[in-house]
């Protein structure tokens, strides 16, 4: 046993050979993130069960809009956010609005308790490629436009503070 450990250590000198420590590191990283993801998923589900969730829009740190999400109902709504030097403007519409060509915008689509970013003119379009969000705590963030579209549910702020504590 002692001999094996010794030869393992000598082999560990070559950086181009797989070490046991690599496996341990990878398993630890994946287990840690999986545990956190599971924790978040359970949290989101239990909060969603506590009643109505809201879609809340923030520009920089200011709340600029709040929309109730109706789970399982035939809700269909478009939310157009446009930006000028003075700030952000929010417009809701039942039909898909045409997007402006003279100023920046994000277009959100609400249906079946899910929120999707369907269009934007930001350079990377990361927000448009984002998965739909539905559970409290989830968000779509458009960094170039400094827009956060987040789902809030019952007892949300408490849960986020708790999460803050866990992650730190």
Residue choice 6, 50, 52, 60 for contact with another protein (CB under 8 A): 60
* Cβ atoms of residues 119 and 99 within 8 Å: yes
Q: With contacts defined by CB under 8 A, name the span among 36-44, 63-71, 80-88, 99-107 that binds another protein.
A: 36-44
Residues 118-137 that bind another protein (CB under 8 A): 123-124, 126-127, 129-131, 137
Residue choice 65, 120, 150, 153 for contact with another protein (CB under 8 A): 150
**Is residue 42 a contact point for another protein (CB under 8 A)?**
no
**Is residue 34 a contact point for another protein (CB under 8 A)?**
yes
**Is residue 14 a contact point for another protein (CB under 8 A)?**
yes
Rounded Cα–Cα distance for residues 99 and 72 (Å): 28
**Is residue 58 a contact point for another protein (CB under 8 A)?**
yes
Q: With contacts defined by CB under 8 A, name the span among 65-73, 78-86, 102-110, 138-146 that binds another protein.
A: 138-146
Nearest CB to another protein, comparing residues 65 and 137: 137
**Is residue 37 a contact point for another protein (CB under 8 A)?**
yes
């Amino acid at each position: 046993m002692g001999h094996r450990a010794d030869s393992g250590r000598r082999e560990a000198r070559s950086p181009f050979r797989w070490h046991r420590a690599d496996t341990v590191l990878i398993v630890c990283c994946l287990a840690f993130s999986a545990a956190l993801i599971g924790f978040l998923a359970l949290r989101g589900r239990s909060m969603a069960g506590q009643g109505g969730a809201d879609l809340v829009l923030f520009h920089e740190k200011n709340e600029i809009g709040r929309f109730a999400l109706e789970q399982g109902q035939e809700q269909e709504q478009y939310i157009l956010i446009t930006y000028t030097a003075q700030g952000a403007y929010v417009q809701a519409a039942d039909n898909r609005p045409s997007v402006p060509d003279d100023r920046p915008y994000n277009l959100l689509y609400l249906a079946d308790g899910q929120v999707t970013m369907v269009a934007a003119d930001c350079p990377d379009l990361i927000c448009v490629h984002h998965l739909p969000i539905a559970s409290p705590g989830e968000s779509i963030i458009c960094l170039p436009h400094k827009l956060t579209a987040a789902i809030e549910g019952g007892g949300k702020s408490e849960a986020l503070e708790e999460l803050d504590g866990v992650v730190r």
